[in-house]
Amino acid sequence: MSAIFGETLTFTQHEGGDVQLVTFGDDKYARYETLDGYTVVYDPEHDGYCYARPVGEGPLRRFGSTGVRLSDRPPEGLRRHLKEGPE
């Protein structure tokens, strides 16, 4: 897989139908955002994509699920274009 920087791709979810996500990354790591810039993660407990929240600080920062599916409004105060810390 080549690197992808901001291409919109369609992903299938078990519940909630297909979603279009802006994708950044390659075959080793990828970050996904909604069309309006909210970072998302696949949450197996919800069997679909949910808004992401930062977990940890600095270089240890990772994404965790808010548990709020994309079919709902993003959680209040959630920032757009989140990024994880370096590996």
Q: Is 35 exposed, middle or buried (0-12, 13-18, 19+ CB in 10 A)?
A: exposed
Predicted confidence (pLDDT) per residue in 1-56, tens digit = 578 889 999 999 887 789 999 999 988 889 999 999 999 999 999 999 999 999 98
Please give the biggest Cα pair distance in the chain.
Answer: 35
pLDDT for the residue numbered 1: 53
**pTM of structure:** 0.88
Q: Which residues lie across from 53 on neighbouring strands?
A: 64
Which secondary-structure segment (H or E) carries 74? Answer: none
